[in-house]
Structure 1
Amino acid sequence: MIRLSLALALVCLSALPGLAQDRFDLPVSAELLPGWVQADGSRVAAVRLSLEPGWKTYWRTPGDAGIPPQFNWSGSKNMKSVQVAWPTPKVFDQNGLRSIGYADELVIPFTLEPKKTGKPMRVKLVMDIGICADICIPHTVSFDETLQHSGSKPTPAIAAALAQRPFSAKEAGVAAATCRMEPTTDGLRIEARVTVPSTGGNEVVIIEPGSGEIWVSEAETQRTGREIVGVSEMIHVNGGTIALDRSTIRLTVLGNNHAVDIQGCTAG
Protein backbone atom coordinates (compact mmCIF):
# COMPACT_ATOMS: atom_id res chain seq x y z
CA MET A 1 0.00 0.00 0.00
CA ILE A 2 2.84 2.41 0.88
CA ARG A 3 4.62 1.70 -2.41
CA LEU A 4 1.45 2.21 -4.42
CA SER A 5 0.68 5.45 -2.59
CA LEU A 6 4.23 6.65 -3.17
CA ALA A 7 3.97 5.96 -6.89
CA LEU A 8 0.71 7.86 -7.16
CA ALA A 9 2.09 10.73 -5.10
CA LEU A 10 5.15 11.07 -7.31
CA VAL A 11 2.93 11.25 -10.40
CA CYS A 12 1.12 14.18 -8.78
CA LEU A 13 4.39 15.64 -7.59
CA SER A 14 5.82 15.77 -11.11
CA ALA A 15 3.00 18.12 -12.09
CA LEU A 16 3.88 20.67 -9.43
CA PRO A 17 6.09 23.50 -10.74
CA GLY A 18 9.16 24.39 -8.72
CA LEU A 19 9.08 21.27 -6.49
CA ALA A 20 11.93 18.95 -7.43
CA GLN A 21 11.59 15.20 -7.14
CA ASP A 22 15.02 14.80 -5.59
CA ARG A 23 14.68 13.62 -2.00
CA PHE A 24 16.83 16.51 -0.71
CA ASP A 25 14.30 18.99 -2.07
CA LEU A 26 11.32 17.49 -0.27
CA PRO A 27 9.60 19.94 2.09
CA VAL A 28 10.76 18.13 5.23
CA SER A 29 14.08 17.60 6.95
CA ALA A 30 14.80 15.25 9.82
CA GLU A 31 17.41 14.83 12.53
CA LEU A 32 17.96 12.50 15.46
CA LEU A 33 18.34 14.31 18.78
CA PRO A 34 20.54 12.12 21.06
CA GLY A 35 18.97 13.49 24.24
CA TRP A 36 20.09 12.43 27.70
CA VAL A 37 20.47 9.45 30.01
CA GLN A 38 18.10 9.09 32.97
CA ALA A 39 18.94 7.85 36.45
CA ASP A 40 17.67 4.33 35.64
CA GLY A 41 19.99 4.09 32.62
CA SER A 42 17.33 4.61 29.97
CA ARG A 43 17.85 7.27 27.32
CA VAL A 44 15.40 9.95 26.24
CA ALA A 45 16.01 10.86 22.60
CA ALA A 46 13.84 12.20 19.77
CA VAL A 47 13.33 12.68 16.06
CA ARG A 48 12.81 16.27 14.93
CA LEU A 49 10.92 16.89 11.68
CA SER A 50 11.08 20.39 10.22
CA LEU A 51 8.44 21.19 7.61
CA GLU A 52 8.26 23.92 5.00
CA PRO A 53 5.40 26.46 5.37
CA GLY A 54 2.06 25.01 4.31
CA TRP A 55 3.10 21.39 4.89
CA LYS A 56 2.10 19.07 7.71
CA THR A 57 2.69 15.54 8.92
CA TYR A 58 0.56 13.16 10.95
CA TRP A 59 -0.15 11.85 14.44
CA ARG A 60 -0.23 8.13 15.28
CA THR A 61 -3.93 8.13 14.28
CA PRO A 62 -4.03 10.50 11.31
CA GLY A 63 -7.74 10.62 10.48
CA ASP A 64 -9.39 9.76 7.18
CA ALA A 65 -7.23 12.19 5.17
CA GLY A 66 -3.85 11.25 6.66
CA ILE A 67 -1.08 8.67 6.33
CA PRO A 68 -0.29 6.75 9.53
CA PRO A 69 3.37 6.90 10.64
CA GLN A 70 5.25 3.64 11.06
CA PHE A 71 8.47 2.91 12.97
CA ASN A 72 10.92 0.11 12.23
CA TRP A 73 13.71 -0.37 14.78
CA SER A 74 15.16 -3.53 13.22
CA GLY A 75 18.94 -3.67 13.35
CA SER A 76 19.24 -1.54 16.49
CA LYS A 77 21.77 -2.79 19.05
CA ASN A 78 21.66 -2.78 22.85
CA MET A 79 18.00 -1.80 22.73
CA LYS A 80 15.51 -3.68 24.91
CA SER A 81 12.39 -1.56 24.43
CA VAL A 82 11.10 1.73 23.00
CA GLN A 83 8.29 3.95 24.22
CA VAL A 84 7.13 6.75 21.91
CA ALA A 85 5.57 9.90 23.42
CA TRP A 86 3.44 11.95 21.02
CA PRO A 87 2.91 15.67 21.65
CA THR A 88 -0.70 16.85 21.44
CA PRO A 89 -1.66 17.16 17.75
CA LYS A 90 -3.97 19.59 15.97
CA VAL A 91 -7.11 18.89 13.97
CA PHE A 92 -7.04 20.02 10.33
CA ASP A 93 -9.79 20.18 7.72
CA GLN A 94 -8.50 18.89 4.39
CA ASN A 95 -10.95 19.14 1.49
CA GLY A 96 -13.84 18.33 3.79
CA LEU A 97 -11.97 15.49 5.50
CA ARG A 98 -10.51 15.65 8.99
CA SER A 99 -6.85 14.93 9.55
CA ILE A 100 -4.84 15.02 12.77
CA GLY A 101 -1.22 16.05 12.90
CA TYR A 102 1.37 18.79 13.08
CA ALA A 103 2.56 21.79 11.08
CA ASP A 104 5.94 23.58 11.03
CA GLU A 105 7.91 21.32 13.37
CA LEU A 106 7.39 18.07 15.21
CA VAL A 107 9.64 16.62 17.89
CA ILE A 108 8.77 12.98 18.69
CA PRO A 109 10.39 11.89 21.98
CA PHE A 110 11.08 8.26 22.73
CA THR A 111 12.51 6.49 25.75
CA LEU A 112 15.04 3.77 24.93
CA GLU A 113 15.66 1.05 27.49
CA PRO A 114 19.07 -0.56 26.91
CA LYS A 115 19.90 -4.20 27.37
CA LYS A 116 23.15 -3.18 29.06
CA THR A 117 23.17 0.13 30.90
CA GLY A 118 26.16 2.38 30.43
CA LYS A 119 27.00 0.88 27.04
CA PRO A 120 26.65 2.56 23.61
CA MET A 121 23.33 2.10 21.85
CA ARG A 122 22.96 1.77 18.10
CA VAL A 123 19.75 3.38 16.89
CA LYS A 124 18.74 2.06 13.49
CA LEU A 125 15.37 3.56 12.70
CA VAL A 126 13.31 3.69 9.52
CA MET A 127 10.22 5.93 9.71
CA ASP A 128 7.50 5.91 7.07
CA ILE A 129 5.57 9.16 7.32
CA GLY A 130 3.16 11.20 5.27
CA ILE A 131 3.72 14.86 4.45
CA CYS A 132 0.88 16.87 2.96
CA ALA A 133 -0.02 20.24 1.48
CA ASP A 134 -2.25 20.20 -1.61
CA ILE A 135 -1.05 16.63 -2.16
CA CYS A 136 0.14 13.91 0.19
CA ILE A 137 3.54 12.30 -0.25
CA PRO A 138 4.65 9.15 1.58
CA HIS A 139 8.23 9.70 2.70
CA THR A 140 10.86 7.56 4.42
CA VAL A 141 13.27 8.91 7.04
CA SER A 142 16.23 6.74 8.04
CA PHE A 143 18.76 6.94 10.87
CA ASP A 144 21.68 4.71 11.79
CA GLU A 145 23.61 6.28 14.64
CA THR A 146 25.46 5.05 17.70
CA LEU A 147 24.59 6.97 20.86
CA GLN A 148 27.33 7.03 23.45
CA HIS A 149 26.66 7.37 27.15
CA SER A 150 26.17 11.08 27.77
CA GLY A 151 25.08 13.53 30.44
CA SER A 152 21.80 13.77 32.29
CA LYS A 153 20.91 17.34 31.31
CA PRO A 154 17.60 17.38 29.37
CA THR A 155 17.56 18.67 25.80
CA PRO A 156 15.24 21.73 25.73
CA ALA A 157 13.48 20.77 22.49
CA ILE A 158 12.72 17.25 23.77
CA ALA A 159 11.64 18.50 27.19
CA ALA A 160 9.27 20.96 25.52
CA ALA A 161 7.73 18.18 23.41
CA LEU A 162 7.25 16.00 26.48
CA ALA A 163 5.49 18.89 28.20
CA GLN A 164 3.04 19.04 25.26
CA ARG A 165 1.76 15.50 25.78
CA PRO A 166 -1.95 15.03 26.56
CA PHE A 167 -2.95 14.86 30.21
CA SER A 168 -3.54 11.43 31.67
CA ALA A 169 -7.04 10.49 32.78
CA LYS A 170 -6.06 11.16 36.40
CA GLU A 171 -4.47 14.53 35.64
CA ALA A 172 -7.52 15.67 33.65
CA GLY A 173 -10.03 14.58 36.28
CA VAL A 174 -11.73 11.81 34.29
CA ALA A 175 -14.51 10.40 36.47
CA ALA A 176 -15.64 7.64 34.10
CA ALA A 177 -14.95 6.20 30.64
CA THR A 178 -17.36 3.67 29.18
CA CYS A 179 -17.67 1.93 25.81
CA ARG A 180 -20.89 0.42 24.53
CA MET A 181 -20.77 -1.72 21.39
CA GLU A 182 -23.46 -3.16 19.17
CA PRO A 183 -23.18 -5.18 15.95
CA THR A 184 -23.78 -3.63 12.54
CA THR A 185 -24.04 -5.15 9.07
CA ASP A 186 -20.29 -4.73 8.47
CA GLY A 187 -18.82 -4.73 11.97
CA LEU A 188 -19.47 -2.85 15.21
CA ARG A 189 -20.76 0.50 16.33
CA ILE A 190 -18.94 1.87 19.38
CA GLU A 191 -20.21 4.63 21.65
CA ALA A 192 -17.58 6.01 24.02
CA ARG A 193 -18.68 8.20 26.92
CA VAL A 194 -16.15 10.13 29.00
CA THR A 195 -17.01 12.16 32.07
CA VAL A 196 -14.36 14.88 32.09
CA PRO A 197 -14.23 18.69 32.32
CA SER A 198 -14.17 20.52 28.98
CA THR A 199 -10.85 20.59 27.15
CA GLY A 200 -11.88 23.82 25.44
CA GLY A 201 -13.61 24.87 22.22
CA ASN A 202 -14.63 22.37 19.58
CA GLU A 203 -13.67 19.01 21.06
CA VAL A 204 -12.91 15.84 19.11
CA VAL A 205 -12.93 12.27 20.40
CA ILE A 206 -10.48 9.81 18.83
CA ILE A 207 -11.13 6.09 19.34
CA GLU A 208 -8.30 3.58 18.85
CA PRO A 209 -9.31 -0.09 19.04
CA GLY A 210 -5.95 -1.50 20.09
CA SER A 211 -5.64 -3.57 16.91
CA GLY A 212 -4.17 -2.58 13.57
CA GLU A 213 -6.60 -4.89 11.78
CA ILE A 214 -9.63 -2.78 12.67
CA TRP A 215 -10.60 0.36 10.75
CA VAL A 216 -12.39 3.01 12.81
CA SER A 217 -14.42 5.83 11.30
CA GLU A 218 -14.15 9.47 12.31
CA ALA A 219 -16.10 9.80 15.55
CA GLU A 220 -19.21 11.93 15.76
CA THR A 221 -18.56 13.98 18.90
CA GLN A 222 -21.01 15.72 21.18
CA ARG A 223 -20.68 17.19 24.67
CA THR A 224 -23.43 17.55 27.25
CA GLY A 225 -22.29 19.12 30.51
CA ARG A 226 -19.37 17.15 31.96
CA GLU A 227 -19.85 14.22 29.57
CA ILE A 228 -18.45 13.97 26.04
CA VAL A 229 -19.63 11.25 23.66
CA GLY A 230 -17.89 9.85 20.57
CA VAL A 231 -19.57 7.41 18.19
CA SER A 232 -17.67 5.46 15.51
CA GLU A 233 -18.10 2.52 13.18
CA MET A 234 -15.60 -0.32 13.23
CA ILE A 235 -14.82 -2.71 10.36
CA HIS A 236 -12.25 -5.52 10.22
CA VAL A 237 -9.88 -4.73 7.34
CA ASN A 238 -9.93 -8.37 6.21
CA GLY A 239 -13.66 -8.80 6.67
CA GLY A 240 -13.25 -10.93 9.77
CA THR A 241 -15.07 -10.91 13.08
CA ILE A 242 -14.18 -8.11 15.47
CA ALA A 243 -13.24 -9.11 19.01
CA LEU A 244 -12.35 -6.21 21.29
CA ASP A 245 -10.75 -6.03 24.71
CA ARG A 246 -12.03 -2.86 26.37
CA SER A 247 -8.81 -2.52 28.36
CA THR A 248 -6.86 -1.97 25.12
CA ILE A 249 -9.21 0.64 23.67
CA ARG A 250 -7.61 4.08 23.77
CA LEU A 251 -9.66 7.27 23.87
CA THR A 252 -8.23 10.72 23.24
CA VAL A 253 -10.16 13.96 23.74
CA LEU A 254 -8.66 16.85 21.76
CA GLY A 255 -9.70 20.38 22.71
CA ASN A 256 -8.48 23.91 22.07
CA ASN A 257 -6.84 24.15 25.51
CA HIS A 258 -5.47 20.67 26.08
CA ALA A 259 -5.96 16.97 25.36
CA VAL A 260 -6.69 13.91 27.49
CA ASP A 261 -5.32 10.38 26.93
CA ILE A 262 -7.50 7.61 28.40
CA GLN A 263 -6.35 4.00 28.33
CA GLY A 264 -9.20 1.51 28.56
CA CYS A 265 -12.91 1.82 29.18
CA THR A 266 -15.56 -0.16 31.00
CA ALA A 267 -18.82 -1.60 29.71
CA GLY A 268 -21.43 1.06 29.08
Structure 2
Amino acid sequence: MTEYHTQLHRPSTAKRPVTQIAGAVFTALTALAGLSFPIATQAQSALPSGTDALVEVEILDGGVTADGTYIGALRLTLADGWKTYWRAPGDAGIPPRFNWRGSRNVGEMSMTWPSPEVFSTSGYRTIGYHDQLVLPIEVTPAQPGRAVRLKGRMELGICKDVCVPSELSFDHQLDAKAGRNPAIVAALASRPYSAREAGVRAASCRLKPTKYGIEVEARITMPSAGGTEVAVIEPGSPHLYASETSAKRSGQILVAKTEFLPASSGNIASVDRSQLRITVLGSKHAVDITGCTAG
Protein backbone atom coordinates (compact mmCIF):
# COMPACT_ATOMS: atom_id res chain seq x y z
CA MET A 1 0.00 0.00 0.00
CA THR A 2 2.91 2.35 0.64
CA GLU A 3 4.14 2.05 -2.96
CA TYR A 4 0.65 2.90 -4.24
CA HIS A 5 0.59 6.02 -2.07
CA THR A 6 3.94 7.16 -3.47
CA GLN A 7 2.76 6.76 -7.06
CA LEU A 8 -0.38 8.75 -6.36
CA HIS A 9 1.50 11.77 -5.08
CA ARG A 10 4.00 11.99 -7.93
CA PRO A 11 1.77 14.40 -9.91
CA SER A 12 2.09 18.04 -8.91
CA THR A 13 -1.67 18.38 -8.36
CA ALA A 14 -2.66 20.67 -5.49
CA LYS A 15 -5.61 19.58 -3.38
CA ARG A 16 -8.64 21.81 -3.34
CA PRO A 17 -12.00 21.78 -1.58
CA VAL A 18 -14.50 19.67 -3.51
CA THR A 19 -16.54 22.74 -4.44
CA GLN A 20 -13.55 24.11 -6.37
CA ILE A 21 -12.60 21.00 -8.34
CA ALA A 22 -13.93 22.19 -11.70
CA GLY A 23 -12.58 25.32 -13.34
CA ALA A 24 -14.91 28.14 -14.28
CA VAL A 25 -13.63 28.99 -17.74
CA PHE A 26 -16.04 26.56 -19.37
CA THR A 27 -18.75 28.97 -20.50
CA ALA A 28 -16.60 30.95 -22.90
CA LEU A 29 -14.80 27.89 -24.26
CA THR A 30 -18.01 25.97 -24.78
CA ALA A 31 -19.38 28.91 -26.74
CA LEU A 32 -16.35 28.73 -29.02
CA ALA A 33 -16.79 24.98 -29.40
CA GLY A 34 -20.40 25.44 -30.39
CA LEU A 35 -19.30 27.63 -33.30
CA SER A 36 -16.65 25.22 -34.48
CA PHE A 37 -18.45 21.91 -34.97
CA PRO A 38 -21.57 20.70 -36.76
CA ILE A 39 -24.24 19.98 -34.16
CA ALA A 40 -25.62 16.52 -33.60
CA THR A 41 -29.03 17.25 -35.15
CA GLN A 42 -27.36 17.70 -38.52
CA ALA A 43 -26.38 14.04 -38.58
CA GLN A 44 -28.85 12.23 -36.34
CA SER A 45 -29.00 9.22 -38.64
CA ALA A 46 -25.29 8.60 -38.02
CA LEU A 47 -25.70 8.49 -34.23
CA PRO A 48 -26.74 5.58 -32.01
CA SER A 49 -29.95 6.36 -30.14
CA GLY A 50 -29.04 8.38 -27.05
CA THR A 51 -25.62 9.33 -25.79
CA ASP A 52 -25.66 6.35 -23.40
CA ALA A 53 -24.63 4.26 -26.40
CA LEU A 54 -21.64 6.53 -27.01
CA VAL A 55 -20.09 6.83 -23.55
CA GLU A 56 -20.49 5.06 -20.22
CA VAL A 57 -19.13 5.96 -16.79
CA GLU A 58 -18.25 3.86 -13.76
CA ILE A 59 -16.36 4.53 -10.54
CA LEU A 60 -13.39 2.29 -9.80
CA ASP A 61 -12.20 1.45 -6.29
CA GLY A 62 -8.56 1.58 -5.27
CA GLY A 63 -8.79 1.20 -1.50
CA VAL A 64 -7.35 3.41 1.23
CA THR A 65 -3.79 4.69 1.57
CA ALA A 66 -1.64 4.60 4.69
CA ASP A 67 -2.62 8.26 5.24
CA GLY A 68 -6.31 7.38 5.28
CA THR A 69 -7.19 8.91 1.90
CA TYR A 70 -9.51 7.01 -0.44
CA ILE A 71 -8.41 6.12 -3.96
CA GLY A 72 -10.92 5.92 -6.79
CA ALA A 73 -11.31 6.83 -10.44
CA LEU A 74 -13.90 7.77 -13.01
CA ARG A 75 -13.64 5.43 -15.98
CA LEU A 76 -15.22 6.62 -19.22
CA THR A 77 -15.65 4.02 -21.95
CA LEU A 78 -16.31 5.49 -25.40
CA ALA A 79 -17.89 3.94 -28.47
CA ASP A 80 -15.53 2.97 -31.29
CA GLY A 81 -14.02 6.03 -32.98
CA TRP A 82 -15.32 8.54 -30.43
CA LYS A 83 -13.18 10.76 -28.22
CA THR A 84 -13.58 13.12 -25.29
CA TYR A 85 -11.57 16.05 -24.02
CA TRP A 86 -8.82 16.96 -21.58
CA ARG A 87 -9.32 19.70 -18.95
CA ALA A 88 -7.95 22.22 -21.52
CA PRO A 89 -9.53 20.83 -24.69
CA GLY A 90 -7.85 22.96 -27.34
CA ASP A 91 -9.16 25.54 -29.73
CA ALA A 92 -12.50 23.84 -30.47
CA GLY A 93 -13.05 21.14 -27.84
CA ILE A 94 -15.70 21.05 -25.15
CA PRO A 95 -14.21 21.19 -21.64
CA PRO A 96 -15.55 18.87 -18.92
CA ARG A 97 -17.55 20.06 -15.92
CA PHE A 98 -18.03 18.20 -12.65
CA ASN A 99 -20.83 18.54 -10.11
CA TRP A 100 -20.30 16.62 -6.86
CA ARG A 101 -23.61 17.51 -5.23
CA GLY A 102 -24.83 14.55 -3.17
CA SER A 103 -21.34 13.30 -2.25
CA ARG A 104 -20.84 12.44 1.40
CA ASN A 105 -17.86 12.76 3.76
CA VAL A 106 -15.67 14.43 1.15
CA GLY A 107 -13.22 16.92 2.64
CA GLU A 108 -10.61 17.50 -0.05
CA MET A 109 -10.27 15.97 -3.49
CA SER A 110 -7.56 15.90 -6.15
CA MET A 111 -7.63 14.59 -9.71
CA THR A 112 -4.72 13.35 -11.78
CA TRP A 113 -5.19 13.76 -15.52
CA PRO A 114 -3.30 11.21 -17.65
CA SER A 115 -1.24 12.65 -20.50
CA PRO A 116 -3.66 13.45 -23.33
CA GLU A 117 -3.33 13.13 -27.11
CA VAL A 118 -3.41 15.92 -29.69
CA PHE A 119 -5.99 15.59 -32.48
CA SER A 120 -6.84 17.57 -35.60
CA THR A 121 -10.62 17.96 -35.87
CA SER A 122 -12.19 19.89 -38.75
CA GLY A 123 -8.94 21.84 -39.09
CA TYR A 124 -8.80 22.67 -35.36
CA ARG A 125 -6.35 21.33 -32.79
CA THR A 126 -8.08 19.53 -29.95
CA ILE A 127 -6.67 17.66 -26.96
CA GLY A 128 -8.17 14.62 -25.30
CA TYR A 129 -8.60 10.85 -25.22
CA HIS A 130 -10.05 8.10 -27.37
CA ASP A 131 -11.55 4.73 -26.43
CA GLN A 132 -11.21 5.13 -22.66
CA LEU A 133 -10.29 7.64 -19.98
CA VAL A 134 -9.44 6.61 -16.42
CA LEU A 135 -9.35 9.71 -14.23
CA PRO A 136 -7.83 8.95 -10.79
CA ILE A 137 -9.30 10.69 -7.75
CA GLU A 138 -7.90 10.92 -4.22
CA VAL A 139 -10.37 11.87 -1.47
CA THR A 140 -9.52 13.01 2.03
CA PRO A 141 -12.54 12.18 4.22
CA ALA A 142 -14.08 15.03 6.17
CA GLN A 143 -14.52 12.52 9.02
CA PRO A 144 -11.69 9.95 9.07
CA GLY A 145 -12.76 6.35 9.39
CA ARG A 146 -16.21 6.89 7.93
CA ALA A 147 -17.46 5.85 4.51
CA VAL A 148 -17.00 8.11 1.47
CA ARG A 149 -19.71 8.39 -1.16
CA LEU A 150 -19.08 9.91 -4.58
CA LYS A 151 -22.26 11.13 -6.21
CA GLY A 152 -22.76 13.69 -8.94
CA ARG A 153 -22.57 14.19 -12.65
CA MET A 154 -20.05 14.97 -15.36
CA GLU A 155 -20.85 17.18 -18.34
CA LEU A 156 -18.58 16.53 -21.30
CA GLY A 157 -18.28 16.61 -25.05
CA ILE A 158 -17.84 13.47 -27.12
CA CYS A 159 -16.89 13.80 -30.76
CA LYS A 160 -16.45 11.83 -33.95
CA ASP A 161 -17.88 13.31 -37.16
CA VAL A 162 -20.13 15.47 -35.01
CA CYS A 163 -19.77 16.76 -31.45
CA VAL A 164 -22.39 15.68 -28.91
CA PRO A 165 -22.79 17.24 -25.44
CA SER A 166 -23.34 14.51 -22.86
CA GLU A 167 -24.16 14.30 -19.16
CA LEU A 168 -23.23 11.27 -17.06
CA SER A 169 -24.49 10.58 -13.54
CA PHE A 170 -22.72 8.43 -10.95
CA ASP A 171 -23.31 7.32 -7.38
CA HIS A 172 -20.91 5.00 -5.59
CA GLN A 173 -19.70 4.36 -2.04
CA LEU A 174 -15.95 3.83 -2.17
CA ASP A 175 -14.77 0.46 -0.91
CA ALA A 176 -12.20 0.92 1.85
CA LYS A 177 -11.22 -2.75 1.61
CA ALA A 178 -10.48 -2.73 -2.13
CA GLY A 179 -6.95 -3.54 -3.25
CA ARG A 180 -4.74 -1.90 -5.83
CA ASN A 181 -6.61 -1.40 -9.09
CA PRO A 182 -4.41 -1.98 -12.18
CA ALA A 183 -6.41 0.51 -14.28
CA ILE A 184 -5.86 3.27 -11.69
CA VAL A 185 -2.17 2.41 -11.34
CA ALA A 186 -1.74 2.59 -15.14
CA ALA A 187 -3.53 5.95 -15.33
CA LEU A 188 -1.32 7.40 -12.59
CA ALA A 189 1.79 6.13 -14.34
CA SER A 190 0.76 7.88 -17.58
CA ARG A 191 0.50 11.35 -16.04
CA PRO A 192 2.88 14.11 -17.26
CA TYR A 193 6.35 14.40 -15.80
CA SER A 194 6.90 17.10 -13.22
CA ALA A 195 9.24 19.97 -14.12
CA ARG A 196 12.01 18.37 -12.06
CA GLU A 197 11.57 14.95 -13.66
CA ALA A 198 11.68 16.47 -17.14
CA GLY A 199 14.83 18.46 -16.45
CA VAL A 200 13.21 21.90 -16.65
CA ARG A 201 15.88 24.41 -15.61
CA ALA A 202 13.88 27.62 -15.92
CA ALA A 203 10.45 28.92 -16.91
CA SER A 204 9.81 32.63 -17.33
CA CYS A 205 6.76 34.50 -18.62
CA ARG A 206 6.58 37.89 -20.30
CA LEU A 207 3.22 39.69 -20.22
CA LYS A 208 2.09 42.29 -22.75
CA PRO A 209 -1.30 44.02 -23.00
CA THR A 210 -3.31 43.44 -26.19
CA LYS A 211 -6.47 45.06 -27.53
CA TYR A 212 -8.72 42.58 -25.74
CA GLY A 213 -6.54 40.86 -23.17
CA ILE A 214 -2.94 39.99 -22.27
CA GLU A 215 -0.36 38.17 -24.37
CA VAL A 216 1.72 35.64 -22.47
CA GLU A 217 5.07 34.50 -23.81
CA ALA A 218 6.68 31.67 -21.85
CA ARG A 219 10.34 30.74 -22.31
CA ILE A 220 11.05 27.27 -20.95
CA THR A 221 14.58 25.91 -20.70
CA MET A 222 14.18 22.13 -20.96
CA PRO A 223 15.18 19.12 -23.05
CA SER A 224 12.84 18.26 -25.91
CA ALA A 225 9.75 16.21 -25.01
CA GLY A 226 10.05 14.61 -28.45
CA GLY A 227 8.81 15.38 -31.95
CA THR A 228 6.74 18.47 -32.64
CA GLU A 229 5.94 19.79 -29.18
CA VAL A 230 2.52 21.21 -28.36
CA ALA A 231 2.26 23.63 -25.44
CA VAL A 232 -0.80 24.64 -23.43
CA ILE A 233 -0.80 27.60 -21.03
CA GLU A 234 -3.67 27.66 -18.52
CA PRO A 235 -4.37 30.92 -16.65
CA GLY A 236 -5.22 29.37 -13.28
CA SER A 237 -8.10 31.82 -12.85
CA PRO A 238 -11.84 31.29 -13.39
CA HIS A 239 -12.04 34.83 -14.78
CA LEU A 240 -9.76 34.12 -17.76
CA TYR A 241 -9.52 31.75 -20.68
CA ALA A 242 -6.65 31.18 -23.08
CA SER A 243 -6.54 31.12 -26.85
CA GLU A 244 -4.61 28.35 -28.62
CA THR A 245 -0.94 28.29 -27.65
CA SER A 246 1.77 28.35 -30.30
CA ALA A 247 5.15 26.76 -29.57
CA LYS A 248 8.56 26.98 -31.22
CA ARG A 249 11.83 25.45 -30.09
CA SER A 250 15.28 27.00 -30.36
CA GLY A 251 17.89 24.63 -28.95
CA GLN A 252 17.20 24.04 -25.28
CA ILE A 253 14.53 26.76 -25.10
CA LEU A 254 10.87 26.26 -25.96
CA VAL A 255 8.97 29.50 -26.57
CA ALA A 256 5.21 29.24 -26.06
CA LYS A 257 2.78 32.08 -26.68
CA THR A 258 -0.93 32.57 -26.00
CA GLU A 259 -3.43 35.32 -25.23
CA PHE A 260 -5.55 35.46 -22.08
CA LEU A 261 -9.03 36.89 -22.56
CA PRO A 262 -11.73 37.70 -19.99
CA ALA A 263 -14.24 34.91 -19.46
CA SER A 264 -17.00 37.52 -19.22
CA SER A 265 -17.36 41.15 -20.21
CA GLY A 266 -14.78 43.50 -18.78
CA ASN A 267 -11.03 43.92 -18.73
CA ILE A 268 -8.28 41.77 -17.27
CA ALA A 269 -7.04 43.32 -14.05
CA SER A 270 -3.96 41.16 -13.53
CA VAL A 271 -2.31 37.80 -14.19
CA ASP A 272 -0.67 35.83 -11.39
CA ARG A 273 2.41 34.12 -12.85
CA SER A 274 2.57 31.70 -9.91
CA GLN A 275 -0.84 30.29 -10.87
CA LEU A 276 -0.06 29.67 -14.53
CA ARG A 277 0.13 26.04 -15.58
CA ILE A 278 2.17 25.13 -18.64
CA THR A 279 1.87 21.67 -20.18
CA VAL A 280 4.21 20.52 -22.94
CA LEU A 281 3.03 17.53 -24.97
CA GLY A 282 5.68 15.64 -26.95
CA SER A 283 6.05 12.29 -28.67
CA LYS A 284 8.19 10.91 -25.80
CA HIS A 285 6.36 12.33 -22.79
CA ALA A 286 4.39 15.26 -21.42
CA VAL A 287 5.61 17.83 -18.89
CA ASP A 288 3.56 19.70 -16.27
CA ILE A 289 5.05 23.04 -15.12
CA THR A 290 3.45 25.10 -12.36
CA GLY A 291 4.19 28.82 -12.30
CA CYS A 292 6.82 30.94 -14.02
CA THR A 293 9.04 33.86 -13.11
CA ALA A 294 8.94 37.33 -14.65
CA GLY A 295 10.58 37.31 -18.06
Which of 141, 145, 150 aligns to 2:168? It is 141
Shift of 1:24: 3.2
Shift of 1:91: 0.4
TM-score, normalised with respect to structure 2: 0.85
Query: Greater shift after overlay, 252-261 or 228-237?
Result: 228-237
- Any conservation in 2 of the 1:208–1:251 contact (CA below 8 Å)? yes
Q: What is the distance in 1 between the residues matched to 2:63 and 2:95?
A: 28
Percentage of pairs with the same residue: 48
SS at match of 2:288: strand
Aligned to 1:24: 52
1:79 aligns with 2:106: yes
1:177 aligns with 2:207: no
Tell me the alpha carbon deviations over residues 87-134 of structure 1, each in whole angstroms, 9 at most, x when there is no partner: 000000111100000011110001011012221111112111110001
Aligned to 2:180: 154
Which of 188, 193, 196 aligns to 2:219? It is 193
Shift of 1:256: 0.5
Q: What is the distance in 2 between the residues matched to 1:148 and 1:35?
A: 8
Return the letter of the residue paired with 2:49: Q
Q: Which runs of 4+ in 1 moved over 4 A?
A: 1-5
Return the letter of the residue paired with 1:33: L
- Any conservation in 2 of the 1:119–1:149 contact (CA below 8 Å)? no
More relative contact order, 1 or 2 (CA 8 Å, 6+ apart)? 2
- Any conservation in 2 of the 1:119–1:148 contact (CA below 8 Å)? no
Q: What is the distance in 1 between the residues matched to 2:152 and 2:185?
A: 21
- Any conservation in 2 of the 1:167–1:259 contact (CA below 8 Å)? yes
1:95 aligns with 2:122: yes
Q: What is the distance in 2 between the residues matched to 1:58 and 1:36?
A: 27
Alignment size in residue pairs:
262
TM-score, normalised with respect to structure 1: 0.93
- Any conservation in 1 of the 2:70–2:174 contact (CA below 8 Å)? no
Q: What is the distance in 2 between the residues matched to 1:182 and 1:239?
A: 20
Which of 3, 6, 11 aligns to 2:41? It is 11
- Any conservation in 2 of the 1:13–1:21 contact (CA below 8 Å)? no
Return the letter of the residue paired with 2:52: F
Mapping of 1:118-267 within 5 angstroms? 118-151=145-178, 153-242=179-268, 243-267=270-294
Q: What is the distance in 1 between the residues matched to 2:262 and 2:244?
A: 15
Tell me the alpha carbon deviations over residues 150-183 of structure 1, each in whole angstroms, 9 at most, x when there is no partner: 14x3100000000000000111111000110111
- The alignment yields a C-alpha RMSD, in angstroms, of 1.8
Return the letter of the residue paired with 2:225: T
Aligned to 2:132: 105
- Any conservation in 1 of the 2:63–2:70 contact (CA below 8 Å)? yes
Q: What is the distance in 1 between the residues matched to 2:42 and 2:160?
A: 12
SS at match of 1:128: strand
Return the letter of the residue paired with 1:34: D
Mapping of 1:29-48 within 5 angstroms? 29-48=56-75
- Structure 1: which 5+ runs fail to align? none
Which of 47, 51, 57 aligns to 2:84? It is 57
Q: What is the distance in 1 between the residues matched to 2:229 and 2:52?
A: 38
- Structure 2: which 5+ runs fail to align? 1-26
